[in-house]
């Protein structure tokens, strides 16, 4: 009996360790897609907004445009949520000289999101099978920051999107409260 239990335990541990989630992406015209593969049944495709250029002297720019979604969810367990979140660095960096930056703030749900803090952009609820993308993620650049930027320079910043499967219902408006 002990041997059997040990064997089952080892098997379970191995299967637990071997759950590898990885992602590969591709750009399809407008948006970009990231496929989430798991060595179990659950899988989905994360669609993120296409690369974007901000207009000169624009003080507020929507960077998501409802273009973040969780597509083709398969075998998602009940009462689970797939959350897609974004994080930002808080600075645009000059391509030719990384020491030169333009600071910005990201406003989501009418509040400033600190750099490095994930904020939920899109969700898929397995119980209702609803996929919802939240709007109004604005990059805000002050007029003074625009004016102090280097003439002729091109600046970039990465906005990282992450999706994950969590085993409860999460409402971003409540700061990730468990609704299950």
Partner 1 sequence: MKRILCALLLCSLLCALMPDAFADGVQQVSLSIPCTVTVDVGEHGKVYSNSTTWIGPSIGSFQVWPGTRVSFLITPDTGYVVNVLLLSGTDVREGLRDGLYGTVIEHNETLVVRFGKPASPSPTPTPVPTTPPWQVTPPYGPKTGDENTVGTWATLLLVSAAALLVLSRKIHKPHTDQAQKRN
The reply on whether position 160 binds partner 1 by CB under 8 A is yes
Residues 6+ apart with CB under 8 A from 47: 31, 32, 33, 34, 67, 68, 69, 70, 71
For partner 1, the closer of residues 142 and 156 by Cβ is: 156
The answer to whether residues 101 and 154 touch, using CB atoms and an 8 Å cutoff, is no
Find, among 109, 115, 108, the residue nearest to 157 by Cα: 115
Residues numbered 27-86 forming contacts with partner 1, rule: CB under 8 A:
32-36, 38, 40, 42, 44, 46, 48-56, 63, 77, 86
Provide the pairing of β-strand 43-48 with 111-113: unpaired
**Shorter beta-carbon distance to partner 1: residue 127 or 164:** 164
Both tokens of 111, joined, read: 């509040």
In this chain, which of 120, 124, 163, 170 binds partner 1, going by CB under 8 A? Answer: 163
In DSSP notation, 97-144 reads: EEEEEEE-EEEETTEEEPTT--EEEEEEETTTTEEEE---EEEE--HH
Residue of 81, 92, 124, 172 interacting with partner 1 (CB under 8 A):
92
Least separation in angstroms between CB 3 and partner 1: 11
Q: Which lies closer to partner 1 via its Cβ, residue 13 or residue 114?
A: 13
CB 121 within 8 A of CB 84: yes
Q: 3 vs 129, which CB is nearer to partner 1? A: 3
Cβ neighbours, 10 Å, residue 114: 12
Residue closer to partner 1, measured from CB, 56 or 111: 56
* Shortest distance, position 27 Cβ to partner 1, whole Å: 10
The site for partner 1 (CB under 8 A) is made up of: 1-2, 5-6, 8-9, 12-13, 15-16, 19, 21, 23, 25, 32-36, 38, 40, 42, 44, 46, 48-56, 63, 77, 86, 92, 102, 139, 141, 146, 149-167
């Amino acid at each position: 009996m002990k041997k059997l239990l040990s064997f089952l335990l080892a098997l379970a541990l191995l299967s637990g360790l071997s759950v590898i989630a990885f992602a590969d992406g591709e750009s399809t015209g407008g948006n970009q897609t990231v496929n989430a593969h798991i060595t179990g049944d659950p899988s989905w495709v994360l669609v993120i907004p296409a690369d974007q250029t901000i207009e000169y002297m624009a003080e507020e720019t929507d960077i998501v445009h409802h273009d973040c979604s969780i597509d083709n969810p398969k075998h998602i367990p009940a009462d689970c949520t797939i959350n897609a979140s974004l994080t930002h660095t808080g600075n645009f960096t000059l391509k030719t000289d990384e020491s030169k930056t333009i600071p910005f703030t990201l406003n989501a749900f009418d509040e400033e999101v600190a750099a490095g803090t994930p904020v939920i952009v899109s969700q898929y609820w397995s119980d209702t099978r609803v996929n919802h993308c939240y709007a109004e993620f604005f990059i805000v650049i002050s007029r003074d920051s625009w004016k102090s930027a280097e003439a002729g320079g091109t600046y970039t910043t990465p906005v990282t999107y992450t999706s994950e499967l969590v085993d409860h219902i999460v409402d971003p408006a409540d700061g990730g409260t468990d609704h299950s």
